[in-house]
Every structure is written in C-alpha cells, then in structure tokens.
Structure 1
Amino acid sequence: MNDDAEPRSIRALRRDAARRRDALIDAAATCFAEQGYGVPLETVAAAAGVGRATLYRNFDDREALALAIFSRAVDRLAVLVDPTLPIAQTVAAMVRAGTGAFSLFARIAAELHLDDANRAAFQALGGRLEAILAPALVAAQRRGEVRDDATSRDLVLALRMAGSLVLPVMSDDEVSAQIETGLRLLFAGLRPR
C-alpha cells in the first residue's frame, strides 16, 4: 500500500465531512428562514442531502445549528472590516452583507431556548463580533468620526439596528436608502459633541 494513500483518504473524508457540515448549515439557514425555527430537523437534514444521524453527529441540537449559522455569518462579516475606511462605510457594507443573517436572527431570537452552554456560546459570538469591530472603532475615534466613549458593543448594536431596517422584499435602491438613512441617524448619536 502506498504511504500517501491513507493520508489522502483521510483528507478526502475530512473534506466530505466539511461539505456535509456546510450543507447542513446552508439548509438550516434556508429552512429556518422559510419555515421558522421550529422546522423539523429531519427536514433540515433532507434539504442538506444527509440523514438525521449525520445532522446529530455534527450538531447536538437546533441551538447548536443556529449558532453555527451565525458563527459563519460573523466569519463572513469579519473580512469586511477595514479600519482605513470611514466607519459608516464599513458598517453599511456589513449590514448589506449580513442582511440575511440579521433578519434570520430577528426571526428566531424569540424562539431560541438556550441552556447555559448555548447562552455562553452566543454571548461569545457577540464578543467575537465586538473584537472584530474594535480596530475599526479605534481608527474611527482617532479620525473624530465617533465619540471616544463609544464601544464595540455600540457598533454591534448599530449593526443589528440597521440590519433590522432591511427587508427581503426591498429593491437594491430601497436597501441602500434604508441603510444610509438608518446609519445617518445612528451615527448622529455616536458622533462627538
């Protein structure tokens, strides 16, 4: 047997497992958005093209699945943070890119039943988003765009607030107008006085 055969097969298995996990996250986001947070997990598994056992090998419960959706959304938003850009531009780009995640979070937040471990995981995710935004905030404070006492948590709240203004039925022009107006109002409160 070739020495490289086993490592290649292991790498292939890991790639397949990662693809199945990603398919489950995609399917859950779609199912939760279309059918609500209470959609049967069997429906999520079927939409991902996997069995129920595969779903439970990857996620302990529906809350862990929701956490994975939002964790991936934070990963996608992180690449948009550029401290050299005006903070309103950075936040606008994040709102536009995260619209689906923000609306999904708003839709299922009331239905989340978090135990202590999942609550801690969601809080850690919020902390991660705050840490991602921190360099942009510091740069914006140096440029005089926001008050010195503004925090990364304030920016996360601004993101969530602006994200809630965007609806799936809006045209691109309407989305742009909503984001611009919402951020203008939000950042008026964050500007130095």
Structure 2
Amino acid sequence: MLSMRRDAKLRRDALIAAAAESFAEYGYNVPLEEVAARAGVGRGTLYRNFKDREALALAIFDTEIDRLAAIVERQQDLRQSMIDLALISSRGTALFARIAAQLVADTENMAAFEALGERFARVLDPLAERARANGDLRSDIDGAKLSLALRMVSSLFYDLHENVAGHGKLDEALDLVLDGMLALKR
C-alpha cells in the first residue's frame, strides 16, 4: 500500500476538518464548494479525495474514532475514560445526529456507516474488558454497550458544553448510566 504524500494528507485532513465544521454549522447539505473553500482547496482536490458527500461524512467519523481510540489506549479507569470520551465525542455525536437526519445513503455507504459503529465498539472493547476484570462492569457489558452509553451521555453534554453546570450534568448522567452497568459487589 502506498503511503499518502505529506502535502496530500494535509489537504485531506483540512477537508475533513472543514467538512465537520461546515456540517455542524450549516447542516449536511452545505454546498461542497463551501467545504473546499473553507479547507483552502479547490473542488477538484475535494473530489480526488472523496467521491461524494457520504464518503466525506464517513471520513469525519473515522477520524473521530481514531481520536477516541487514543483515549482508550491511555489505560485510565472506567469513569475517567468515559468522562474523557464524552467530552471529546460530544461534538461528533451531535454532528452524527445532524447528518443522520439528512442522510440518504445508498447501500454501500449505509454498510460503511454500520462498519464504523462496529469499529467504535471494537475500540471500546478493551475498556470494557479492563472494567470487567476490575469488577467495575457486569460481565455482559462490552464495547457495543459502552458505545450506546457513551452516545447517551455525550448527547446530553453537547447541549451544556463548556460550562460548570454542563460538567455537573455530565457527572450526574454518567453516575446513572454507570450504576446501571456496574458489577454487583458481593
């Protein structure tokens, strides 16, 4: 597999960042010319990197999963990991909800979106495994269930982001969610 040239990777990363900002600000149907302009590239560069709007959205979420995987790799305890994941993923959760509401995906793109959800669950599996081994989670909680819990908590936090009350609500929501997944102490 050939590696991407550094300048090409920088342009691709700029397009992904610009698309995330544009989709969040203007909605999923923002003109792709707007995304290209925000990234500082032409339409041709955009279409050389992404065949369509859905491919661009998939790249945004793939990048978000990479960011979340780095948090799981820190080997923190369950609660701190969930807090960090919620803080990082709140924007992605809101963006995903906004895109999903407007998305008309074909079969190929729908399969790719589902594969991203499965990838995210696999990224969270080591966290679930560590927490089960520590007695912090029930034996039936895996990465997929942690993913669902994280989406619930992150969606609440996004509305309250960056204020003290928001952090308090995040703690309360996390308490409720984690209490439901805790291993019974004997």
Both structures adopt the same fold (TM-score exceeding 0.5): yes
Determine the structure 2 residue equivalent to 1:6: none
The 2-side partners of 1:171 and 1:57 are apart by: 37
Amino acid at match of 1:65: L
Query: Structure 1 residue 189 and structure 2 residue 184: aligned?
Result: no
Closer, same or farther in 2 for the Cα pair 1:63/1:151, shift >3 Å? same
Per-residue CA deviations over 1:127-185 (Å, capped at 9, x if unaligned) read: 11111111111111121111111121110001111110123564332232122111111
Q: Is the 8 Å Cα contact of residues 59 and 65 (structure 1) preserved in structure 2?
A: yes
- Offset of 1:83 from its aligned partner? 7.3
- Offset of 1:192 from its aligned partner? 2.6
Give aligned pairs, total: 182
What are the equivalent positions in structure 2 for 1:3-14 lying under 5 Å apart? 14=5
Closer, same or farther in 2 for the Cα pair 1:168/1:188, shift >3 Å? closer
Closer, same or farther in 2 for the Cα pair 1:43/1:20, shift >3 Å? same
Determine the structure 2 residue equivalent to 1:107: 98
Q: Is the 8 Å Cα contact of residues 122 and 144 (structure 2) preserved in structure 1?
A: no
Q: Is the 8 Å Cα contact of residues 129 and 142 (structure 2) preserved in structure 1?
A: no
Q: Is the 8 Å Cα contact of residues 83 and 136 (structure 1) preserved in structure 2?
A: no
- Offset of 1:85 from its aligned partner? 2.7
What are the equivalent positions in structure 2 for 1:142-157 lying under 5 Å apart? 142-157=133-148
Instruction: Name which one, 1 or 2, has greater alpha-carbon Rg.
Output: 1
Q: Is the 8 Å Cα contact of residues 21 and 58 (structure 1) preserved in structure 2?
A: yes
Which of 93, 106, 120 is residue 129 of structure 1 equivalent to? Answer: 120
Task: Please list every run of 5 or more consecutive structure 2 residues that lacks an aligned counterpart in the other structure.
Answer: none
- Sequence identity of aligned pairs in percent? 47
The 1-side partners of 2:73 and 2:12 are apart by: 29
Task: Please list every run of 5 or more consecutive structure 1 residues that lacks an aligned counterpart in the other structure.
Answer: 1-10
Amino acid at match of 1:63: E
- Offset of 1:75 from its aligned partner? 0.3
